[in-house]
Structure 1
């Protein structure tokens, strides 16, 4: 039996401490799906996903999150996850097999605004 604070990725089935995964939640009593980045955790049915390109690709292609949450995942969440993956580790977004070994509770989930470039019209 796994330790209490361990979770399993819906894509690769890797077992690890929950702090190493992204948590996706179907809110209690509804069909709304959100990316849970808060403490205390949002109540509802949760699925965990490794923050790596291989797992994100597999989950999107094979609809692993939809199956785990038993509801459709809004298409607007996928680009957010890809942007976050590139912001956390540009190498991980390029190499599908690279799994981030970060404590995600200590990492800021918003990219640095100074790293964005403005497009002039």
Structure 2
């Protein structure tokens, strides 16, 4: 599937994004800014629904958007993309391209990693 095509967001993907955001103590606004998407789009993906006119329909998203959202809340995007039927984009826009990590965080506990992720997300949201 092309990176430009969209697919419906399964409930388990919506829940994974929402649970990860809440676990990191991020508001939808802060998470959306960290991912570079609108709060409206973030909310649609989290809830799994959107409105077309006055009709409520399944939310849809692209691979690029879902990957950015997953990374913003510290979730591996690959399983979410698979569940959505999308493939990982070859590259993300240069604004989200990252240099190689400068710190080795492999010795940190899950709790400490969550704190680091929340701190970084807060910095990005500014």
Q: Give the TM-score taking structure 2 as reference length.
A: 0.33
| Structure in which a larger fraction of residues adopt strand | 1
Q: Give the TM-score taking structure 1 as reference length.
A: 0.34
Ranked by relative contact order (alpha carbons within 8 Å, sequence separation 6 or more), the top structure is: 2
| Structure in which a larger fraction of residues adopt helix | 2
